Chain A
Amino acid sequence: METILVLVHNDSDGALPKSACEAIGAGARLAADAGISGFSVGVIGCGVQPSLDALALCGATRFLAVDHAELGQSRYATDAAAAEAMARAAGASIVLAPMTSRWARVLPGVTHRLGGRVDTHATGLAVADGEIGVTRWFYRQRMEATLNRTERPWVILLDQGACPTWSGAAGRVTAEQVVV
């Protein structure tokens, strides 16, 4: 049984990027398709409570947060430390994240620290015969492939615009604070 973590960050203005809600939607759908009861959402940044509250009704069964002033700016060393701590705290076997420039810079390195594997520019997620498959392009969009991996954790960066955006009402979330 997989454990899914949707890992998002807020922007310097405190708001969630639109692609974060796409990743949330993809996580909810993947959990449902794979028959997994619930998924986790991890938010990293500075002043993340409004972002957590905005995702209150997304269907996640667990919320985690790394909230620190140092994460108000995008920087490899601090972002990598936070993302690594978050993934370990969640015990995630599948980490879904939006392909923002911030995550694209840092999550491959985090995957190495976790002993996992990463796939970027994913344009689709599907479950077939109980296996999760990722669709992405090769050779400058001339070839499309569906691939899967046995190694875990498997970090999947979803291209922006590839998945429907989750939207819902805000609420109040009390997240587990992950110490970095």
Chain B
Amino acid sequence: MGPSGPGLKNEMLLPAVLDPWAAHALYEAASLAKTAAGSKVWLVSLGPKAKLQQVMMTMAQKAPFELVALDGPASGFADAHGTAAVLAEAIEGIAGLDRARLLVFGGWESATRCAGATMQLVGERLGLVDQFQGVDRLTIQPDGSMRLVERIDGGRHQVSVCAGPPAVIGWATGYLHEPPNNPQVGMANMRTIMPALQKAKATPIEPSGLTFARVELPTQVRETRVVKDQSPDEIAREIVAWVQGA
């Protein structure tokens, strides 16, 4: 716990990767842009500049995009409200963005905080009232409307039809495979990524009234054992006993 709140001592040593659902959102955006003439993908990314640079070494080869880099915290303890504020401001600052045709793609939750709130807050700040979360598939229909398949409770999907952009779409896994690395795309992207990283401005998250009273590792730790030929019933019994603290 530091003066600015909790954090990981080894945060900078964690793997530099785009959050899984955010990565899927990028792949879906690139795939959609390929089929809609005149479309362009911007990747707005918030994180420590050094980490963003490492992330871009991989992501730049996956899909064509223009990076908008924000040099700020990417910790799991960063508040969704402050994060959404700086992301929305960055989107508003993109020159040439047609707000009437805007589709804001992102991961519906992050692996670090799992808030599942940032996309909605960004959307509200941008005045977007058509929002979909946990989206697994987006299909553009012949009349230009969007058919969206969202994850809902009970392992089910909800299918919706939206007249068209603008909209916010928080992606789950989607149906696309991770694109293979394409060095040509990477080289083309790097022409804009390096300047974007160089001019990435320091973007602190505004302090809020959020206070962490306690942050700790779980007290209940399960030791892994390798046991052969145990029946499912026995495994289930052991797990239930452990959950109950027996």
Contacts and interface: CB of A to CB of B under 8 A. Distances in A.
A104 B118 CA distance: 11
- Interface size class for chain A? 35 or more
Interface in A89-146: 100-102, 104-106, 108-109, 111-113, 117-121, 128, 133, 137-146
B209 A150 contact: yes
B68 interface: no
A109 B121 contact: yes
A105 B6 CA distance: 27
B125 A75 contact: no
| Best-surrounded residue of B114, B120, B130, B160 (most CB of chain A within 10 A) | B120
B121 A76 contact: no
A176 interface: no
- Interface size class for chain B? 35 or more
A147 B213 contact: yes
Nearest to B119: A108
B66 interface: no
A120 B116 contact: yes
B208 A149 contact: yes
Interface in B150-187: 150-153, 158, 160
Given A74-B158, A77-B129, A101-B151, A148 B120 contact: no
Given A74-B152, A112-B125, A144 B209 contact: no
Given A74-B152, A108-B117, A112-B121, A146 B134 contact: no
B139 interface: no
B38 interface: no
A75 B158 CA distance: 10
Contacts of B160: 75
A109 B124 contact: yes
A116 to B, nearest CB: 9
Interface in B82-135: 84, 111-118, 120-121, 123-125, 129-134
A148 B124 contact: no
A74 B160 CA distance: 9
Contacts of B134: 101, 105
A48 interface: no
A98 B206 CA distance: 28
Contacts of B213: 128, 133, 145-148
25 contacts: A74-B152, A76-B129, A77-B129, A77-B130, A100-B153, A104-B116, A104-B133, A105-B132, A106-B131, A109-B124, A112-B81, A112-B121, A113-B124, A117-B208, A117-B209, A118-B81, A118-B117, A139-B111, A144-B217, A145-B213, A145-B215, A147-B210, A148-B213, A149-B209, A149-B211
Given A108-B115, A150-B211, 20 more contacts: A17-B153, A76-B131, A77-B129, A105-B131, A108-B117, A108-B118, A111-B117, A112-B124, A113-B124, A117-B79, A118-B80, A118-B81, A121-B114, A142-B217, A142-B218, A144-B215, A144-B216, A144-B217, A147-B211, A151-B208
Interface of A: 17, 74-77, 80, 100-102, 104-106, 108-109, 111-113, 117-121, 128, 133, 137-151
In the A-B complex, list the 4 residue pairs whose CB atoms are closest, starting with the nearest.
Answer: A150-B209, A108-B117, A108-B120, A109-B120
